[in-house]
């Protein structure tokens, strides 16, 4: 028969788990620990991705937007400082541009009041993402015609990220002015219509977009990604027709009087 001291010693001992029995309630199985760690890592990664998207679409966009508008203003000022000569008459059938851009030259500035009273973007030769679209704003497809020429003057720009030059291009309405300024003067295009196509529809760059007929109009085509902000697979195409060219000697046209 156990003594009183032995009984007290047994009561003080921790309960032992029977062989083959359930684990102690306070003990966590190793697989649960692994699953918990993986879940926390995935949650952290998701938060970081959302933060990056927010930074790219809003914070960085705002900074690049200001840089591109400033670059456009500086380019326009260079031309304004030049003394214009020659004709002072506006025309719907301008001569070919005096300069053909090379490399990634910036040769034009685009103004679209519908996109904002301060909206202006440089136009550079080429549509390479890193060298042109990410830095300069708008890029001209060198395989298409130049501004003012019969055919298709096609220009590309980002819908989201890197200044998002054409983010709100879907807000254009029929008749809106899209003005392209160069050293020669101002080309005033009027917006006509838009369409959505797959990214493989390169025929929007033809002299007559999506047709095989000979060109007889002076067109401007804007291309950008769709949908926004997750731009995959589609393109939003906007078309405009040249209405009037104003030579530099005639001074800035009244349609741009809204500029500061």
* Residues designated as active site: 158, 225
On the question of a cis peptide bond just before residue 227, with omega within 30 degrees of 0, the verdict is: yes
- Going by C-alpha positions, the residue among 169, 182, 146 that lies closest to residue 224 is 169
């Amino acid at each position: 028969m156990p003594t009183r001291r032995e009984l007290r010693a047994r009561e003080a001992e921790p309960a032992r788990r029977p062989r083959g029995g359930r684990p102690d309630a306070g003990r966590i199985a190793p697989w649960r620990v692994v699953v918990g760690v993986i879940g926390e890592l995935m949650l952290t990664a998701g938060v970081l991705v959302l933060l990056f998207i927010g930074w790219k679409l809003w914070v960085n966009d705002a900074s690049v937007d200001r840089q591109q508008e400033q670059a456009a203003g500086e380019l326009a000022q260079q031309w304004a400082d030049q003394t214009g000569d020659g004709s002072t008459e506006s025309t719907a059938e301008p001569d070919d541009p005096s300069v053909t851009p090379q490399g990634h030259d910036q040769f034009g500035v685009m103004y679209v009041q519908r996109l904002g009273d301060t909206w202006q973007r440089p136009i550079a030769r080429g549509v390479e993402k890193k060298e042109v679209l990410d830095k300069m704003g708008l890029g001209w497809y060198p395989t298409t015609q130049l501004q003012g020429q019969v055919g298709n003057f096609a220009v590309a720009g980002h819908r989201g990220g890197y200044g998002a030059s054409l983010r709100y291009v879907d807000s254009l309405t029929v008749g809106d002015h899209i003005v392209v300024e160069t050293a020669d003067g101002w080309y005033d295009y009027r917006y006509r219509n838009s369409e959505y196509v797959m990214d493989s529809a390169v025929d929007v760059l033809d002299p007559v977009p999506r047709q095989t007929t000979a060109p007889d109009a002076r067109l401007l085509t804007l291309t950008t990604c769709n949908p926004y902000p997750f731009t995959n697979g589609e393109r939003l195409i906007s078309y405009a027709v040249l209405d009037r060219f104003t030579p530099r000697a005639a001074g800035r046209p009244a349609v741009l009087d809204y500029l500061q």
